[in-house]
Amino acid sequence: MEDRNNKHMMRGVLAGVAGGLVASWVMNEFMAGPGKKLEQSLQTHEEKEQERQKEQQQTQPDEDSTMKVADAVVNTVTGGQHLSFDGKQKGGPIVHYSFGALMGGVYGGLAEYFPIARSGFGTSFGSALFAGADLVAVPALKLAPPPDQEPTSALGKHLAAHIVYGGTTELVRRLVRAAL
């Protein structure tokens, strides 16, 4: 249990940033392995057929929301230039890790002063992040289709990945915070 008399915002934020960075990597690994298997197990026959047809028609992979954000940042900063597809593939992870670190820092700061933020060993935070980012902000910014246009299996994979992110963020946050 954390010492309630030893609260320190900056240490909490730093521990959260470390947790968010590690959790972003773990989340990527989850999405590529167990998350992919989870999504496949949740897919209906129709979803599997739609995915197979889409793969046959595609010449290059879709741009995910992080790639679109990377391109938008470059466009804004340079006054109109866009990234190549290769550039978007390189920029996407930078966006992902930056957002993961930022959200981890917010979590670390909140966790320092509000024990409820740590509920479910960070999984409540991960679920809230999924709801706020994937279900609301990303579609509102036109970076992805609205949730009702996404397959349930994909939403299930993303929810599970955010739960993994939240739990990992809390684990690393606790370890780093204890060292600080």
Q: What is the pLDDT of residue 24?
A: 98
Which residues, including other chains, have CB under 8 Å from residue 169's CB and lie 6 or more apart? Answer: 16, 19, 20, 22, 23, 103, 104, 107, 122, 125, 126
Alpha helices for the chain (secondary structure H):
9-32, 34-42, 45-57, 65-78, 85-113, 123-129, 138-140, 152-179
Rounded to the nearest angstrom, the gap between the alpha carbon of residue 33 and the centroid of all alpha carbons in its chain is 16
Written as six digits, the tokens of 171 are 């684990």
Q: What is the pLDDT of residue 160?
A: 97
CB atoms within 10 A of CB 139: 18
Residue 29 binned pLDDT confidence (cut-offs 50, 70, 90): very high
Query: How wide is the angle at C-alpha 11 spanned by C-alphas 126 and 118, nearest 5°?
Result: 30
Backbone CA torsion sign across 30, 34, 40, 43: negative
Averaged pLDDT, 128-137: 96
Residue 134 binned pLDDT confidence (cut-offs 50, 70, 90): very high
* Contact in structure between 166 and 125 (CB atoms under 8 Å): yes
Cα→Cα distances 156→13, 68, 168, Å: 29, 22, 18
Alpha helices for 33-83 (secondary structure H):
34-42, 45-57, 65-78
Residue 44 binned pLDDT confidence (cut-offs 50, 70, 90): confident
Averaged pLDDT, 164-173: 98
Averaged pLDDT, 143-164: 94
Look at residue 155 and tell me whether its pLDDT is greater than 60. Answer: yes
Convert the pLDDT of each residue in 74-129 to its tens digit.
999 999 999 999 999 999 999 999 999 999 999 999 999 999 999 999 999 999 99
**Residue entry with tokens 């730093």:** 14
Q: What is the pLDDT of residue 61?
A: 73
| pTM (2 d.p.) | 0.88
